[in-house]
Amino acid sequence: MSNLDEIDLNIMRATQAGLPLTAKPYHAIAEQLGLSVDQVIERMRRMQELGVIRRIGAVPNHYKLGYRFNGMTVWNVPDEKIDALGQRIGRLDFVSHCYHRPRHLPLWPYNLFAMVHGRSQEEVDQQIGQIAAILGQDNLGSDVLYSTKILKKTGFRSK
């Protein structure tokens, strides 16, 4: 891994499942890895600056919070406008992920992906309507894919 050394990777391995729930969690990690607490804090701050750590915080279980209706909305928009449109869609507070991805014609004409989350089907339908309204005439076609089953969910794990 280009940006990181073995100490960074050890910190990642020690924390990717969670931060210790003790008053001094970074001390606990330091002790476990045989580092000083200043080293752990300094390296984690650096990893955050590099974007290696996206954020530190609570990852809620969507279902437990009542967000049982999650749809992957996909849109075919003109390539020359996708960046401006994607940024606007990404700012909507019900969108958790928004990406430009490649088309695979003819089977897959969609290039803009936005994951939406609602507490009811009506709420999701209304959210999809809001996205369609923003895209306007640049909406050349769309679909919504609902997950019907979780087949695997382990998350990223470094060996």
**Minimum separation from the CB atom of position 129 to other proteins (A):** 19
C-beta closer to other proteins: residue 33 or 52: 52
**Minimum separation from the CB atom of position 28 to other proteins (A):** 12
C-beta closer to other proteins: residue 34 or 57: 57
**Minimum separation from the CB atom of position 91 to other proteins (A):** 7
**Minimum separation from the CB atom of position 80 to other proteins (A):** 13
State how far the alpha carbon of 153 is from the alpha carbons of 70, 76, 118, 145, in Å: 16, 28, 21, 18
Helix crossing, 37-50 with 25-33: angle to 10°? 110
Q: Is 106 helix (H, G, I), strand (E, B) or coil?
A: coil
- Partners of 122 in beta bridges: none
Q: How many whole angstroms separate alpha carbon 145 and alpha carbon 148?
A: 9
b/e map of 45-60 (b: 16 or more CB within 10 Å)? eebeeeeebeeeeeee
C-beta closer to other proteins: residue 60 or 136: 60
Q: What are phi and psi of 79, to 5 degrees?
A: -55, -35
**Minimum separation from the CB atom of position 103 to other proteins (A):** 9
